[in-house]
Amino acid sequence: MTSPSAPVSFEFFPTKTDAGHAKLIAAAHVLAGENPEFFSVTYGAGGSTRDRTLNTVLQLDQEVKVPTAPHLSCVGDSKEDLRSLLQQYRESGIQRIVALRGDLPSGMGQASGELRYANELVEFIRAETGDHFTIEVAAYPEAHPQARNYEQDLTNFVRKARAGADSAITQYFFNADCYFHFVERVRKAGVDIPIIPGIMPITNYSKLARFSDACGAEIPRWIRKQLEAYGDDSDSIAAFGTDVITDMCQRLLDGGAPGLHFYTLNQAEASLAVWRNLRG
Ligand code: FAD
């Protein structure tokens, strides 16, 4: 394997329990040793994790000492909520934000926020805070699950980038070609922001299958069949998953991907196994 000089970042989700939070912080300490460009922490659309996201971001940034980016979503939050969060982050020295529309959890009803799409949130952040924040947005190489079609989704991505995004992180995928095709189409549309592949390590087949159905990530048949065959043999799943994801990441980096963003699910091992393989 060649050593990647490309930057790496790691994503966490805020937990509900003290034990879960302690695991997150332990994983973050391990991953901090890889000198990541940044950590990020997800946000429950509608504000369900507002305080937990804020506290986790500040702890990772100030105690673990890795620059940390909060995710911020606009469905279900008022402009006043968003303004106040932006102000708290700014005053705490946070410099990067992942700006999203978000998905309201089932049971929270229809979106009630004043901003409907991520491009409006990006415009809002720029209007409120100028160039203070580096803004990341989401990208969908396999198209967003609610998109009417690929072309409209691409147009919507381009609009979001032009609204003032500095960089994008993709939904995860298991097929490098969809990433290369997406980047090519975005470049042809005249948008040149970095598009960083979001990488989901493979550790548990049933959870992965459920999650992938919901977010529109296709698990290729040969990967599904192989994972099904392993059943409950978690060591074999982890070994196979590490090989498959390492190979894909190597292809992505060789093909010009400007970095990798790992969805850690608050666990260091699986992301680290892939990243260390790539480092050689
Ligand atoms: P948008 O870019 O607004 O797109 C949503 C849909 O609307 C797409 O189908 C798009 O084609 C369409 N669209 C976009 N703009 C317009 C427009 N102006 N007019 C008409 N149609 C439009 N979710 C969370 O709740 N919390 C998180 O922390 C979180 N983190 C994420 C991190 C990453 C890297 C990624 C890839 C996803 C994350 N998500 C998170 C999931 C994300 O919120 C969902 O995928 C959500 O459904 C779309 O968010 P978006 O910002 O991509 O939306």
The domain limits of the chain are 8-278
**pLDDT at residue number 113:** 73
Tell me if residue 128 is catalytic: no
The atom of ligand 1 lying closest to the CA of 146 is 9
Per-residue pLDDT tens for 81-127? 999 999 999 999 999 999 999 998 776 666 667 999 999 999 999 99
**pLDDT at residue number 191:** 98
Mean pLDDT calculated for residue range 222-246: 97
- Ligand 1 mutation target, pool 39, 41, 42, 101, most atoms within 8 A of CB: 101
**pLDDT at residue number 38:** 98
What ipTM goes with this model?
Answer: 0.99
**pLDDT at residue number 112:** 65
**pLDDT at residue number 1:** 55
Task: Please give the structure tokens belonging to residue 108.
Answer: 């929270």
The atom of ligand 1 lying closest to the CA of 198 is 34
Does the beta carbon of 77 sit less than 6 angstroms from any atom of ligand 1? no
Mean pLDDT calculated for residue range 211-238: 96
126 Cβ contact partners less than 8 Å away, ≥ 6 residues apart:
135, 163, 164
Per-residue pLDDT tens for 32-90? 999 999 999 999 988 889 999 999 999 999 999 999 999 999 998 999 999 999 999 99
Does the beta carbon of 50 sit less than 6 angstroms from any atom of ligand 1? no
Distance from the alpha carbon of residue 216 to the mean position of ligand 1, in angstroms:
12
CATH entry 2.40.30.10 includes domain 8-278:
no
For the chain, the straight-line distance linking the first and the last C-alpha, in angstroms and rounded, comes to 5
Distance from the alpha carbon of residue 206 to the mean position of ligand 1, in angstroms:
24
Asked if pLDDT for residue 18 goes beyond 90, the answer is yes
**CA dihedral sign of residues 273, 211, 60, 36:** positive
DSSP, res 133: S
Half-sphere exposure of 79 (CA within 13 A, CB side): 10
**pLDDT at residue number 93:** 97
